[in-house]
Amino acid sequence: MKALLDLEESYKELRSASYRKALRIGDNIYILLDGLKAVSRGLDRALINKLSHLGVKKVHLVSGASDPRSLISSLLGASISSLNLYYAPDGSVYYVAKVLAPTRARNADREEVVKRIFKLVTGNDIVIEYEEGLTEVSQVKGPKLEKEKLEEWLKRLER
């Protein structure tokens, strides 16, 4: 993509990244890169300016395009507790991703975009399931846990 090549000299994070694919979904462009560490705000703005003639409202730089787990994680912006590959009796293959986020954080539109991008990149379907429970160790830290709270957390982890 010519816009990335033009900006590579100005933004050092693009120097170590390799371009994989660009997808346009609605008014958004998703640029899939491998080896992208962090993205500066200036890079986002510069890409939008470079691609404004295409009618782009938002540019999403997605890292980890070669690894299904990191692709899903960067698209959803959440931690993945597990990613399993299933073989259906008809010979098709699909993934099931378990996301560590409360169900209320679910965004159906974003989930559909993730499924479309995942299908285009890997050629496989994906099912996204949400898990509630411990999302951070800091939720358990403290002076002392009460017995009832501990039992409640253990029941959540068993699900």
Question: What would the pLDDT profile of 59-75 be if each residue is shown by its tens digit?
Answer: 888 887 788 898 888 88
Q: Kindly state whether residues 76 and 34 are assigned to the same domain.
A: no
Question: What would the pLDDT profile of 93-111 be if each residue is shown by its tens digit?
Answer: 999 999 887 766 677 888 8
Helices marked H in the chain: 2-7, 41-50, 68-76, 108-122, 147-158
Q: Structurally, how many domains does the chain consist of?
A: 2
Question: What would the pLDDT profile of 11-63 be if each residue is shown by its tens digit?
Answer: 777 777 888 888 888 888 888 888 777 776 777 778 878 777 778 788 888 88
Q: 48 is in which domain, residue-wise?
A: 1-64
Q: Kindly state whether residues 49 and 72 are assigned to the same domain.
A: no
Domain annotation covers residue 146 = no
In sequence order, what are the residues at sequence separation of 6 or more whose Cβ sits closer than 8 angstroms to the Cβ of residue 159?
131, 133
CB 46 within 8 A of CB 11: yes
Domain annotation covers residue 145 = no
- pTM (2 decimals)? 0.71
- CATH number for 41: 3.30.300
